[in-house]
Amino acid sequence: MIIKPRVRGFVCVTAHPAGCAAHVQEWIDHVQGKGAIAHGPKKVLVIGASTGYGLASRITAAFGSGAATVGVFFERPSEEGRLATPGWYNTIAFTQKARAAGLYAQNLNGDAFSDEIKQQTIDLIRRDLGPIDLVVYSLASPRRTQPKTGVVHKSVLKPIGAPYTNKTVDTDKGIVSTVTIEPATEPEIADTIAVMGGEDWELWMQALRGAGLLAPGAQSVAYSYIGPEVTWAIYKNGTIGIAKNDLERAARVIDADLRRQGGRAFISVNKALVTQASSAIPVVPLYISILYKLMKANGTHEGCIEQMQRLFASQLYAPGGPKFDSGGRVRVDDLEMRPGVQEEVKAIWPTVTTENLAAATDIAGYREEFLKLFGFGLAGVDYAAEAEPHVPML
| CA separation for the pair 316, 135 (Å, rounded) | 12
116's CB contacts (< 8 A; 6+ apart) are: 110
Amino acid letter, residue 143: R
Question: Are 178 and 168 contacting, i.e. CB atoms less than 8 angstroms apart?
Answer: yes
Give 356-370 as a DSSP string: THHHHS-HHHHHHHH
Strands 11-12 and 7-8: antiparallel
377's CB contacts (< 8 A; 6+ apart) are: 19, 368, 371
User: Alpha helices, DSSP H only, in 312-394?
Assistant: 339-348, 357-360, 363-372
| CA separation for the pair 46, 137 (Å, rounded) | 6
Amino acid letter, residue 289: S
| Torsion over CA: 218, 332, 309, 20 (sign) | positive
Nearest to 64 by CA among 50, 49, 44: 44
Catalytic residue among 53, 223, 235, 292: 235
Question: Are 323 and 330 contacting, i.e. CB atoms less than 8 angstroms apart?
Answer: yes
Provide the residue count of the chain.
394
Question: Are 222 and 251 contacting, i.e. CB atoms less than 8 angstroms apart?
Answer: yes
Instruction: Give how far the C-alpha of residue 261 lies from the chain's centroid of Cα atoms, to the nearest Å.
Output: 28
Task: Give yes or no: 235 in active site.
Answer: yes
337, exposed or middle or buried, with CB in 10 Å at 0-12, 13-18, 19+? Answer: middle
Instruction: Report the DSSP beta bridge partners of residue 47.
Output: 72, 137
Nearest to 283 by CA among 370, 391, 159: 159
Biggest CA–CA distance in the chain, Å, is 59
382's CB contacts (< 8 A; 6+ apart) are: 18
Residues taking part in catalysis: 235
